[in-house]
Copies of this chain bind each other. A is one copy, B any other.
């Protein structure tokens, strides 16, 4: 058994405390299984459907965990986040449930649907121009200082990692209920907030379940970093449609957790991801976005592992309709 180093950013008690704070608002997402997908994979495939979480991704867990951990007067002043994606929506919705202001700084060229959703969920959106070299920090910093907003980072933030870890507590219970106690747990991996939180939860609650981060072949920083034993970065503009999980490199706080408790990583190509999205629609009745489907794509590949069962998290479902149409049509374009 691995012994946790005292230097890790969070421990199981942080995750259990986050679960208590989340209990009144979180969706306990189901663990699904389909005989069709089992047949393809040659083993049982259990799918944790985090696309059904509030705001359509697991990110709500971390956002609520971080906000609920703030002292009341600090939280009341509001929060700020830098994000073009699912973290932004999680922050906006959590703040709105708390009735506190939230500011999200987004690139001006973000997909319109993400800008609109973040606003619709209650955040003030501030845009900055990437092309002109404007930095997001410059756009948000003055405002944050002036209003006393608390910055909530998307993954390198202990209370966010603890919130994402609550998904791991549920996986441990649900897998046991379904009779699975020994399996790889494939997790779509960007900065590693979910992978690290789930890894700590499973080590405590279901030590036979082991996290393996999954990435697109062209943004495989975590896979390579785990092999190299140090944090390596991605290309500046990786060629993949899995936008939600493209990050520059593994997190400073998340990577040490993954080194101790997770891996080896798995890579999948975009064609396999689109195919998995189509199967999720037809066989699981779930909309899964590209970055949320890499773990399912890996789970469906019989060569990913030789066990009798495999678990994967479908992490998010905030996808442009044209990719849905492509997935439903069985073609990519």
Q: Is A287 an interface residue (CB 8 A)?
A: yes
| Nearest B residue (CB) for A117 | B36
Inter-chain contacts of A328 with B (CB < 8 A) = 321, 324-325, 328
Whether, in the assembled complex, A8 has its beta carbon less than 8 Å from a beta carbon of chain B, the answer is: no
- Cross-chain contact of A32 among B36, B52, B284, B324 (Cβ < 8 A): B52
Give complex CA distance A325, B120 in Å.
25
Q: Which of A23-31, A129-137, A145-153, A251-259 contacts B (4 or more CB under 8 A)?
A: A23-31
Residue of B56, B93, B330 touching A321 (CB-CB under 8 A): B330
| Chain B residues, Cβ within 8 Å of A329 | 321, 325
Smallest Cβ-Cβ distance to A321: which chain B residue: B328
**Assuming the A-B contacts A30-B28, A30-B30, A35-B93, are A285 and B51 also in contact, with contact meaning beta carbons closer than 8 angstroms in the complex?**
yes
Quick one: which of B120, B317, B325 contacts A36, CB cutoff 8 A? B120
Please provide the chain A residues from 46 to 84 with a CB less than 8 Å away from any CB of chain B in the complex: 49, 51-52, 54, 56
Chain A contacts to B: CB under 8 angstroms: 27-30, 32-33, 35-36, 39, 49, 51-52, 54, 56, 93, 96, 120-121, 281-282, 284-288, 317, 321, 324-325, 328-330
10 A-B contact pairs sorted by A residue (CB < 8 Å): A27-B32, A30-B30, A30-B52, A35-B93, A35-B121, A52-B286, A281-B321, A281-B324, A286-B286, A321-B328
